[in-house]
Chain A
Amino acid sequence: MQPPKIDIRGLDFFFDKKQVIRDFSLEIPANEILAVFGPANSGTTTLLQAMNRLTDLRPGARAEGRILLDGKNVFDADVNVTELRRRVGMVFEVPTPLPLSIYENVAYGPRLRSRKNHAALDEVVETALVRAALWDDVKDRLHTAGARLSGGQQQRLCIARVLALEPEVILLDRPCSGLDPISTAKIEESLRQLKEHFTIVLIPHNVQQAGRVADQVAFMLMGSLVEHGATDEVFRNPKNQKTNDYITGRFG
């Protein structure tokens, strides 16, 4: 059996004195979609942002424990944070195209790292847009502003922007929460295809989405892991009463 892509061991996370993640341990296998879900303030977003250390930007943030990416703790002092964030890409809840053209949005990450020649960059941008299922929509207007796209297209642009980094892990924080069902379906279809190449951690905006796309699910409550397992198993036969209550809609 392959070693896990990400191995979270005994993670405690604090903002100043407030603890938002408690003794959290979870193995995330490569090339699968893991959905981490729970009610608001369960610590899901913090967990995701800790994986690529975006939490470094938050005042008062402090982590104890380890998050191993291919066996290497991301909190180690010798970790190059910008390189970590390239390997572990993030898609945010609100689609946020930078105030640049579609092309420049996708090229943003690659341009940060090196001066690629035009042809190579064109290819990276095209590949990323194709994989994010946006290419056909935008190929004739790559140099118009990203902000002019519809909400669903903007979110796919954000996914393309992450794909252009050629990452290993993609983190998505409620990527469809503001989108219509058709856009949501398109993004979910993309995710199913993308998991062949990437490890995907998704915070779904509702339980149904976890059921539709995830191979494994993890249920969090008040910063602790309540239950974790294969999606079918957890949904059909939850071991924990709270999980059962949550997925059947009795609370949350």
Chain B
Amino acid sequence: MNPSTSQRIAKVVIWAAALLVIAVLLAILLFILIKGVPQINWQFLTQIPRNMGRDGGISSTIVGTLLVTAVAVLVATPFGVGTAFYLTEYTKESRITRIIRFSAESLAGIPSIVFGLFGFIFFVMYLKLGWSILSGGLTMAVMILPTIIRTSEEAIRTVPAPFRDVSFSLGGTKWQTIVRAVFPSALPGIAVGVILGIGRCVAETAAVILTAGSALRMPTSLFSPARTMAVHFYIMAREGISIDKAYGTAALLIILILIINVGANLLVNRFVAKGK
């Protein structure tokens, strides 16, 4: 085939692939938003579900979602980022780092329902935390830990090596070098891992039902059971209770994820802008 023909074909194929992906994404988003957004109003946001979800709003599930996700992220981030720094800065490549990395990779590949079962047996039953935001959040934390470790590790590895030399040569200790020179450069990448983790928490259903339950009451503490929006959507649609409310929940879920992503990006950019 002559080069200019292959070039033209490649161009068409690559454009088609990109356009198709965008089209599918837009179709899903528009479908959900068109069906769902009309359901969203002040009542929907502020009232707890009544009549099994047929009436009222979904306020308690919004709170449930935010709390379960918050617990998961607040627990998983320090452990995940800490592990990533250990793997990259505090140890040489060895059998131990390979075992840790292999474990993280294996964990990342396990279906979420297995984490749900583990959470149910360990947090709910053994630690007697019951079906609660805490059980759900801790289970989600274990689930997103591998993602945070791997993305943070990647982010730390891409920090230019000279930054470390410079920091050490200016009399920095290892810890100062990590905190002041490496961490700020790695932060955008670490944030990507955390945002991916948030996305997984918000979207999770099976593991949440097993560990946080599916109560419709407004949670009053971290020990309250709770229903998250994804679970609510699933139950509304699966049981055929209210398809309208299901679409409303889905639309709000998408909007919530959008807000979290944009917010996290703004936060990171504000932090990074000082050095750009």
Contacts and interface: CB of A to CB of B under 8 A. Distances in A.
Given A100-B274, A101-B274, A145-B275, A86 B165 contact: no
A112 B171 CA distance: 7
Main secondary structure of the interface of A (DSSP, over half): helix
Interface string A114-146: 000000000000000000000000000001011
Contact of B166 (A59, A98, A143, A145): A98
B164 interface: yes
Interface residues of A, number: 32
B171 A85 contact: yes
Contacts of A109: 170-171
A75 interface: no
Contacts of A89: 169-170
Contacts of A94: 162
B176 to A, nearest CB: 5
A82 B181 CA distance: 16
Nearest to B163: A98
B95 interface: no
Contacts of B270: none
Interface centre among A104, A111, A112, A145 (most CB of B within 10 A): A112
Contacts of A101: 274-275
B165 A100 contact: no
Contacts of A161: 166, 170
A54 B163 CA distance: 13
A85 B168 contact: yes
A112 B176 contact: yes
Contacts of B185: 99
A182 interface: no
Contact of A99 (B92, B168, B169, B275): B275
B184 A99 contact: yes
B160 interface: yes
B173 interface: yes
Main secondary structure of the interface of B (DSSP, over half): helix
A96 B276 contact: no
Contacts, number: 75
Contacts of A158: 166
Contacts of A112: 170-173, 176, 180
B171 A92 contact: no
Interface in A154-208: 158, 161-162, 165
A47 interface: no
A96 B162 contact: yes
B224 to A, nearest CB: 43
Contacts of A82: 171-173
Nearest to A84: B171
Contact of A108 (B165, B167, B173): B167
A83 B170 contact: no
B169 A100 contact: no
Contacts of A92: 162, 165-166, 169
Contact of A145 (B168, B170, B274): B274
A101 B273 CA distance: 9
B272 interface: yes
Nearest to B272: A99
A90 interface: yes
A113 B162 contact: no
B169 A52 contact: yes
A148 B276 CA distance: 7
A57 interface: yes
Contacts of A54: 165, 168-169
Given A99-B185, A100-B275, A108 B169 contact: no
A147 interface: yes
Interface in B172-199: 172-173, 176, 180-181, 184-185
Interface of A: 52, 54, 57, 59, 82-83, 85-86, 89-90, 92, 94, 96, 98-101, 104, 108-109, 111-113, 143, 145-148, 158, 161-162, 165
Interface of B: 92, 160, 162-173, 176, 180-181, 184-185, 272, 274-276
List of 5 A-B pairs having minimum Cβ-Cβ separation, nearest first: A99-B275, A86-B171, A109-B170, A90-B169, A96-B162
21 contacts: A57-B164, A57-B165, A57-B168, A59-B92, A82-B172, A85-B169, A89-B169, A92-B162, A92-B169, A94-B162, A96-B166, A99-B184, A99-B185, A99-B276, A100-B184, A108-B170, A112-B170, A112-B173, A112-B180, A145-B275, A147-B276
Given A96-B160, A108-B167, A109-B170, 17 more contacts: A52-B169, A54-B168, A54-B169, A85-B169, A85-B170, A85-B171, A86-B170, A89-B169, A96-B166, A99-B184, A101-B274, A108-B180, A111-B180, A112-B170, A112-B171, A143-B274, A162-B170
